[in-house]
Amino acid sequence: MKRAVVFLLFLLFCPSSLPAQSPKHLLLGLASTSGGIDVLYVTKKTGAFKRNGLDVDFILFQGGSQALQVLLAGDVKIISGGGGTAAQRARLKGAGNVLVATYTPTMPFSLYVNNKIQDGKQLKGGKIAISRFGSSSDFAARYILTRLGVEPVKEATLMQIGNQRERLSALLSGAVDGALIDAPNTLLARQQGFRQLADASILGLTYPHNNIATTDRFIREEPETVMSFVRAFVEGVAYYKTHKAESVQMIREFLRVNDTAVAEEAYDYFARITPAKPYPIIEGIRTVLDEIALTDRSAKNAKPEQFVDSSFIAKLDKSGYIDRLYKK
């Protein structure tokens, strides 16, 4: 692995002792350690990877672009990420990245406002805090405002404020009228007295937010490894969705928070939107391609199916394997 890349990542968890017949060691790249991704930690902690012949360790990167770069360089074989515009632009240009699962099939953002605002009409002329232009929060804000009957930019001002703590501070000070917040920070927003005006997932936004991505080459060379990973992952998802108390404790460890209420906030939101059968979301890919098509005409004719390999989830689904996980 290149030294420059090694400097920019670190191991989250040390490898555990190996049994006599060592499972295959695999590094999983994470674009972040935010809510939703905790399901991968649950998968690891419950032993699903080991039961499927894998010894998986996590590597944290500085965002999705870096995770994608290292995946395409071949330094890691699987990442959690790879669903946004940068990844699909790369695929359009012939890169080998491909999605094999989508486990957050929406943008997990809610619009929180001060209590004086009761509906979208009252946001006209208002200011909405996002992280930066072109970000996920920017996209979600435009989607939510449109669904609320407010035309972004013309009828409401989007302001680049920064991270969620900074957006909440701007809301608290009255500098903005609303802010895009995701779980578990939504708990803090409510504790500060703000109200949720809309949730992108409930409004119907489909987007490949959190995914399992690999490369065409790795699928060709080691299809059984990919299948083992995906099989372990759907086991982890099933445990996550059916064992709240145990999962909440693991989320506390993963997010490194002491407050159980924070972990429960993350669990309640992401357990709801995480599908039992995490097929790569075709409709969400179309959303991304439509976004790319605004500046790249080649995206208009691209088919979403070119960007995914649903065969692994489909095989587990058709065999009844996933359904049986929920009958135990």
SS3 264: helix
Which of the four pLDDT bands, split at 50, 70 and 90, describes residue 7? very low
Q: Which CATH number does the domain housing residue 291 bear?
A: 3.40.190.10
306-321 pLDDT tens trace: 999 999 999 999 999 9
Q: Report residue 21: phi and psi, to 5°.
A: -100, 95
State which of 203, 226, 242 marks the end of a domain. Answer: 203
| Cα angle 125, 126, 132; round to 5 | 120
The number of helices, as runs of H, and strands, as runs of E, in the chain is: 16, 11
**Owning domain of residue 188:** 109-203
Contact 99, 309 (CB under 8 A): yes
Closest to 90 (Cα-Cα) out of 215, 5, 211: 215
Least confident window among 5-19, 187-201, 266-280: 5-19
Contacting residues for 45 by C-beta, under 8 A, at least 6 apart: 250, 253
Asked if residue 187 and residue 87 are part of one domain, the reply reads: no
Asked if residue 128 and residue 38 are part of one domain, the reply reads: no
State the pLDDT at residue 67. Answer: 92
Asked if residue 229 and residue 95 are part of one domain, the reply reads: yes
Which of the four pLDDT bands, split at 50, 70 and 90, describes residue 256? very high
Which of the four pLDDT bands, split at 50, 70 and 90, describes residue 21? low
Asked if residue 84 and residue 29 are part of one domain, the reply reads: yes
Contact 99, 308 (CB under 8 A): yes
What domain count does the chain have?
Answer: 2
Asked if residue 123 and residue 74 are part of one domain, the reply reads: no
Asked if residue 213 and residue 102 are part of one domain, the reply reads: yes
Type of residue at 244:
K
State which of 167, 182, 203 marks the end of a domain. Answer: 203
Closest to 263 (Cα-Cα) out of 281, 289, 245, 282: 245
Asked if residue 269 and residue 146 are part of one domain, the reply reads: no
Q: Over pLDDT 70: what percentage of the chain?
A: 93
Contacting residues for 90 by C-beta, under 8 A, at least 6 apart: 68, 72, 97
State the pLDDT at residue 258. Answer: 92
State which of 203, 237, 254 marks the end of a domain. Answer: 203
| Cα angle 67, 219, 311; round to 5 | 105
Segment of 113-122, 289-298, 302-311 carrying the highest mean pLDDT: 302-311
Closest to 212 (Cα-Cα) out of 279, 268, 275: 279
Give me the helix-helix angle, 223-242 and 38-45, nearest 10°: 100
Asked if residue 118 and residue 95 are part of one domain, the reply reads: no
> Across-strand partners of 101?
212
Asked if residue 236 and residue 184 are part of one domain, the reply reads: no
State the pLDDT at residue 35. Answer: 83
Tell me: cis bond preceding 184? Omega within 30 of 0 counts.
yes
Asked if residue 185 and residue 168 are part of one domain, the reply reads: yes
Asked if residue 45 and residue 155 are part of one domain, the reply reads: no
Q: How far apart are the first and last CA of the chain?
A: 42
Asked if residue 308 and residue 192 are part of one domain, the reply reads: no
Distance in angstroms (rounded) separating the CA atoms of residues 168 and 42: 29
Contact 138, 158 (CB under 8 A): yes
State the pLDDT at residue 34. Answer: 83
